[in-house]
Structure 1
């Protein structure tokens, strides 16, 4: 009976236990995959290394020269644009100052005209008062003269 159980166990392990077969297949697959992939990756790395060396030796220097030239052109254009902007700003400032000066001149002319009108009005007032005062003084002197003449004629 022990032999039967042992035989049944062996049969069961051969029929149902696939681990040894699967392990062998996995090892085979990994070995094949790693060898083939390692060769393919090494070829790709060599190819990539060649491309990088070519870029460093040929493309990079010519690109750097082109970039330097373009940057110097851009800097020159920026300086010219900056100079033009400064000139425009200066002209606007001068125009603004000129317009403010013109406005101040107009305001001063108006104030001067008002001042002259006020002076003329005061002159006329003073002249009127003076004329009235002269008239009153004349009247007083003429009355005093009459009084004096009367007193002299009575004496």
Structure 2
């Protein structure tokens, strides 16, 4: 049985050497990481450091200056906007008053037009009635003359 165990052990060693590449892969990974770090150097650290310096510069120099400029610009702009809003509000009030006045005038004009129209219709009706009365009386007289 010792020979069977030796054969199994030998097959295990052969199998391990042929198919188990963990040790070699581990070594390759270490080599790759070392080469990668060596090539990159401290570039990432330097970039982060530059970014921090730029942020501090913006925070201490540019930000307060921009806030001050914004306030200096926005305050007069807000005043102008308020003036324009006031002017627009006044214009709207005037327009509403004008519209109300126009509606009242239109109503008066339309009432006057209606009265004029009704008077004209009454006059024309009277003319037609008078003409009809004249023709009727003429017809009656003609008829009466014929019958005699």
Check if 1:91 corresponds to 2:105: yes
Q: 1:102 aligns with which of 87, 112, 116?
A: 116
Q: 1:75 aligns with which of 66, 75, 89?
A: 89
TM-score normalised according to structure 1 size:
0.55
Which deviations, in whole Å up to 9, do the C-alpha atoms of 1:89-126 show, x marking residues without a partner? 44344334433332222221111112223344555667
Check if 1:29 corresponds to 2:43: yes
Unaligned runs of 5+ in 2: 1-23
For residue 112 of structure 1, give the secondary structure of its aligned residue in structure 2. Answer: helix
Q: Distance in 2 between matches of 1:79 and 1:88?
A: 14
Q: Distance in 2 between matches of 1:104 and 1:48?
A: 80
Q: Distance in 1 between matches of 2:99 and 2:114?
A: 22
TM-score normalised according to structure 2 size:
0.57
Unaligned runs of 5+ in 1: 1-8, 136-155
Shift of 1:31: 0.4
Q: Describe how 1:4-23 pairs up with structure 2 within 5 A.
A: 17-23=31-37
Q: Describe how 1:111-122 pairs up with structure 2 within 5 A.
A: 111-122=125-136
